[in-house]
Amino acid sequence: MTLLVAAKIVWAAGCIGWYVIRLPFERKVKRERVIDARDRLRELVLLSCSTLGLGIVPLLWATSPAFDGANYPYSPVQFALGTLTFLFSLWLFRRTHRDLGKNWSVTLEIKDAHKLITGGVYRHVRHPMYSAFFLWALAQLILIPNWIAGPAGLIGFGILYAFRIGREEKMMLDTFGDEYRAYSARTARLIPGVY
Ligand code: SAH
C-alpha cells in the first residue's frame, strides 16, 4: 500500500469516527425544545462552506483525479503528524460533545432547558468544539499532500468561524448576561491562555 492510499484511509476513517461520535448527540438534542434560533439561513450557508472544505473537496481529491495537478511530494513524517493531529482532534471533539450534552446545536440555538456549561474542557476555553474543528482542518492540511484539498478545510471552517463567533457570543450574552460575561473574562476562545 502506498503512503497516499494510507492517507486516504486515515482521512476517511477520521470522517467516520467524527460521525460516530456525533450521532448519539444528534438523536439526543432532537427531543429538546428550541426557544431561540438565530440567522438560520445564514448559518446553513456557512455550514455549507465548512462541509465543502472539510468534506467534499478532500473526498474529490481521494476519489477522483480532479485536483491531481496540485499534488506535491509526500513524506512518512507528514503522514504520521497528520494522523496524530487527526486523533487529537477526534479526542477533543468527543470531550466537547460529552461536556456540552443537550446544549449542543448545529446552528445557533438556545434550548428551553439551556444551561451554561463552564466545566470540563469548557473550563479552559469557551469554544473547544471549534478548537477541535480547527485541529481537524489542520490535520487535513498536514495529511493531504495537495495544495487545494489540503488547505480547503481551514478555509471552509475558517469562514464559518469568522462569520459565526461574534453572533454566537452575542446570543450567549443575551441569554446568560453577567454569567457569560464573567465566564468570557476568565477564558480564552480557542487556545488556553493565548486566544
Ligand atoms: N462554540 C461552542 C459550542 C458549539 S455548538 C464550542 O465551540 O464548543 C453551538 C451551540 O452551543 C450554540 O448554539 C450555543 O447555544 C451553544 N453553546 C455555546 N457555548 C456554550 C456554553 N458554554 N454552554 C452551553 N451552551 C453553549
Dihedrals phi, psi of 27, to nearest 5 degrees: -65, -45
Ligand 1, pocket-test mutation among 172, 189, 190, most atoms within 8 A of CB: 172
What value does the mean pLDDT take over residues 108-113? 95
What value does the mean pLDDT take over residues 65-92? 97
- Largest pairwise CA distance in the chain: 56
Hey, which bits of 75-154 come out as E strands? 109-111
What value does the mean pLDDT take over residues 100-128? 96
74, part of any domain: yes
**Pocket of ligand 1 from Cβ distances under 6 Å:** 96, 100, 103-105, 108-110, 116-117, 122, 126-130, 168, 172
* Confidence class for position 76, pLDDT limits 50, 70, 90: very high
Percent with pLDDT over 90 in the chain: 98
Rounded Cα distance between 114 and 69, Å, is: 48
Half-sphere exposure of 76 (CA within 13 A, CB side): 2
- Output the residue whose Cα is nearest ligand 1's atom 1: 127
195, part of any domain: no
What's the confidence (pLDDT) of residue 179? 98
155, part of any domain: yes
Name the CA radius of gyration of the chain, rounded.
18
What's the confidence (pLDDT) of residue 143? 97
Atom of ligand 1 at shortest range from CA of 118: 22
165, part of any domain: yes
101, part of any domain: yes
- Bridge-based pairing state of the strands 109-111 and 34-37: antiparallel
pLDDT reading at 1 higher than 90? no
The candidate with the shortest Cα–Cα distance to 150, out of 158, 165, 140, 159, is 140
Contacts of 84 (CB under 8 A, 6+ apart): none
91, part of any domain: yes
What's the confidence (pLDDT) of residue 57? 98
User: Using CB atoms within 10 A of its CB, is residue 107 exposed (0-12), middle (13-18) or buried (19+)?
Assistant: middle
117, part of any domain: yes
pLDDT of 32-47, one tens digit each?
A: 999 999 988 999 999 9
Rounded Cα distance between 167 and 38, Å, is: 9
What value does the mean pLDDT take over residues 94-101? 97
Hey, which bits of the chain come out as E strands? 34-37, 109-111
Q: What is the CATH number of the domain that holds 140?
A: 1.20.120.1630
Enter the pTM of the model.
0.96
What value does the mean pLDDT take over residues 22-26? 95
What value does the mean pLDDT take over residues 58-73? 96
- Give residue 160's domain range: 3-186
194, part of any domain: no
Amino acid code (one letter) for 62: A
Atom of ligand 1 at shortest range from CA of 96: 8
What value does the mean pLDDT take over residues 44-55? 97
Atom of ligand 1 at shortest range from CA of 175: 15
Contacts of 91 (CB under 8 A, 6+ apart): none
Instruction: Specify the number of domains making up the chain.
Output: 1
